[in-house]
Amino acid sequence: MDFNADLQARVCAVEEVIKKYLPKEEGFQKSLLEAMNYSFLAGGKRLRPLLMRECYRMFGGRGEVIEPFMAAQEMIHTYSLVHDDLPAMDNDLYRRGRKTTHAVYGEAMAILAGDGLLNLAFETACRAFSLGGQASERETKRERGAERIGGAMTILAKKAGISGMIGGQAVDVEAEKRKLRLDGEKLLFIHEHKTAALIQSAMMIGAYLAGADKESVAKMEKAGYAIGIAFQIQDDILDITSTLEELGKPVGSDEKNDKLTYVSVYGLERSKQDVEKLSREALEILRDVPERNEFLEELVVSLINRKK
């Protein structure tokens, strides 16, 4: 099977898994649940749960315990987009060629839908406790499973929180509102926290739940950093080089908002070189594991060379 067909099949399989954890649209709070599902089902590459599953497999994980975490990770990603699009934030009416959540359901419901998705992420991850981890047949192992799930939950929360994604988001928002000139250090902080943190989280949780040791989890954190930063720089590059048809959102929306990007700080050429360098670093780490995952390696390459 060629890579693109393989990728499509695996993304489909990931979709199947994560959709199972969406709420039924019923009860007095039906509109809220609709708004949440609308946001979650707006498409997207499902990159984070895919990376999580592939890292889990790379370290020998074969159980179901990873599944609620895959859904949880994607819920966190989704909520961040819903809140990011709000009028008080980026004020975007379209994303991936589709109306954003607040454009359809109103601002108040979009705030609540984001809150609902963030909360549901942890509620969903908690469902791993009843799956009992990798070894559910023996009591002691089952209990060790609970501790491991707790550890995975800690990674999930930290990388999404004030020392992770929200931290980066806050610095980004503040810089924009105050029209601050960003230096390279602050810009890298934003990219590391706003974008790389959830990639790191996905890869680390995959390894951790498969039973990988501390050192291997730390390696995934490094690889996730390189992939995340490369991915974000590529995003910045695409923002000025793409067209509406290709990307599904207005061209140069970052520029429209006077947003400083990696490209505007370092220039297009240096940005492209750094993307290459970071991808090499990530691949070196991924090739230095007991059992290589060739699909994962190809995925990383394709992310870096993507045109949309």
Total residues at interface with a second copy (CB under 8 A)? 57
CB 227 within 8 A of CB 300: yes
**Sole binder of a second copy in the list 83, 95, 219, 249 (CB under 8 A):** 83
The interface region with a second copy, picked from 13-21, 169-177, 196-204, 300-308 by CB under 8 A, is 169-177
32 binds a second copy (CB under 8 A): yes
**Sole binder of a second copy in the list 167, 206, 224, 228 (CB under 8 A):** 167
Question: In 10 A of CB 49, how many CB atoms?
Answer: 26
253 binds a second copy (CB under 8 A): no
Length of the chain: 308
Chain Cα centroid distance, residue 33:
21
161 binds a second copy (CB under 8 A): yes
The interface region with a second copy, picked from 47-55, 138-146, 222-230, 251-259 by CB under 8 A, is 138-146
Torsion of CA 126, 128, 130, 135, to 10 degrees: -150
DSSP string across 164-225: THHHHHHHHHHHHHTTPPPPHHHHHHHIIIIIIHHHHHHHHHHHHHTT--HHHHHHHHHHHH
Give min distance, CB of 183 to a second copy, in A: 11
**Sole binder of a second copy in the list 6, 45, 104, 122 (CB under 8 A):** 122
The Cα–Cα gap between 244 and 261 comes to: 19
The Cα–Cα gap between 157 and 73 comes to: 10
119 binds a second copy (CB under 8 A): yes
186 binds a second copy (CB under 8 A): yes
The interface region with a second copy, picked from 104-112, 211-219, 259-267, 276-284 by CB under 8 A, is 104-112
Closer CB to a second copy, 147 or 276, in the complex: 147
Give min distance, CB of 181 to a second copy, in A: 14
Q: Which residues contact 33 (CB under 8 A, 6 or more apart)?
A: 23, 24, 25, 26, 27, 116
**Sole binder of a second copy in the list 7, 42, 104, 157 (CB under 8 A):** 157
